[in-house]
Amino acid sequence: MTAIKGSAAAVTGAAGGIGRALALELAARGCDLALADRDEAGLQQVSAEIAKTYSRKVSVHRVDVGEPNQIADFAAAATAAHPGLNIVINNAGVALLGQFSEIEQAQMEWLININFWGVVHGTRAFLPHLSRQREAHIVNLSSIFGIIAPPGQTAYCAAKFAVRGFSESLRHELAMANSPVRLSVVHPGGVATDIARNSRTGVGVTDNARRAQSIERFDAMATKHPVIGDVRGIGAMQAIELVQDRATKKPAAAAVDAAIKRACERGLLLLRAGLYSNVIRTLVPLVITDAQLDEGLDILEGSLDG
């Protein structure tokens, strides 16, 4: 497992949301940072916030992950500023509101170019450098919508399922090659960020009330305390959603620690049962029943016990 303390990490989408939370948490754990985002002012704010509390080396880089050349330049600049950089977190992402018939092809390509190809280009740009390190880790952000596919999310789900498939396959390739680089793919549920509020709207969506309702629904469902801040180590990020004790319905510390350790050993993804249930029941109530959900969680937990 890659140790966070003493490492240096590149984080995309670091000006806000999950990326900002990751930057602050990594700094708190003794990690230097190369932070990337299109929002230069936001990056400066995050950097200043870190500097108030922690003596970490932080470089900021204006990067549009939808532009491969900018990603390549970021990789070169980040590794020059942090020669020992050994963690890369491909986090940047966008959202698009509308049914498939309501979004234009160009809009779908815009999202996939950022949410999927941005991850691929980021991985490719940093991998040669990471491969020369004693130990290194790539963390690619998918989504719970890389596991389930509700209506109205065709572009987003397509990209996040693609991130999942790409990452899982590459993880096996790296392991087979005995590479020092490990790879995790993370599937967060609803986290209280501005991704819904900043989303674009399909050209065929003419009802402004739908957009407002979507934002309200997301805000009501999303947690304001991302469990990303609770990660025990960068190798556990694929286990970022914590298990729940099914009997008490409360987090069980011993079960959490054991499950994270087991997930890292086996390369499994753990889902936080309550959050998974909340996302499904909020967004796709007609797609899955409580009985189906409970059955699926039983199978998941059984696989961890086996």
Domains of the chain: which residue ranges? Answer: 8-238, 241-306
Q: What pLDDT digit, counting tens, does each position of 140-167 carry?
A: 999 888 887 878 889 999 999 999 999 9
Mean pLDDT over each residue of the chain, to the nearest integer: 74
Is pLDDT of 228 > 50?
no
Is pLDDT of 222 > 50?
no
Averaged over 224-245, what is the pLDDT? Answer: 32
pLDDT of residue 283: 34
Q: What pLDDT digit, counting tens, does each position of 33-87 carry?
A: 999 999 999 999 999 999 999 999 999 999 999 999 999 999 999 999 999 999 9
Averaged over 195-202, what is the pLDDT? Answer: 57
Q: In whole angstroms, how far apart are CA 42 and each of 36, 140, 186, 243, 288?
A: 10, 22, 24, 33, 39
Residue 110: pLDDT band by 50, 70, 90 thresholds? very high
pLDDT of residue 56: 94
Amino acid type, 96: L
Residue 306: pLDDT band by 50, 70, 90 thresholds? very low
Residue 213: pLDDT band by 50, 70, 90 thresholds? low
Is pLDDT of 298 > 80?
no
CATH architecture designation of domain 8-238? 3-Layer(aba) Sandwich (3.40)
Left (φ > 0), alpha (ψ -120 to 50) or beta: where does 267 sit? left
Percent of the chain exceeding pLDDT 90 equals 47
Crossing angle between the packed helical segments 117-131 and 68-81, to the nearest 10 degrees: 30
Is pLDDT of 123 > 70?
yes
Separation between Cα atoms, residue 159 and residue 143, nearest integer Å: 10
pLDDT of residue 197: 54
Find the range with the poorest average confidence among 31-45, 118-132, 228-242, 243-257: 228-242
Q: What is the 3-state secondary structure (H, E, C) of the chain?
A: CCCCCCCEEEEECCCCHHHHHHHHHHHHCCCEEEEEECCHHHHHHHHHHHHHHCCCCEEEEECCCCCHHHHHHHHHHHHHHCCCCCEEEECCCCCEECCHHHCCHHHHHHHHHHHCHHHHHHHHHHHHHHHCCCCEEEEEECCHHHCCCCCCCHHHHHHHHHHHHHHHHHHHHHHHCCCCEEEEEECCCCECCCCCCCCEECCCCCCHHHHHHHHHHHHHHCECCCHHHHCCCHHHHHHCCCCCCCCCCCCCHHHHHHHHHHHHHHCCCCCCHHHHHHHHHHHCCCCCCHHHHHHHHHHHHHHHHC
| Catalytic annotation, residues | 156
Is pLDDT of 305 > 70?
no
- The pTM of this model reads 0.71
Pair 88, 183: CB distance under 8 Å: no
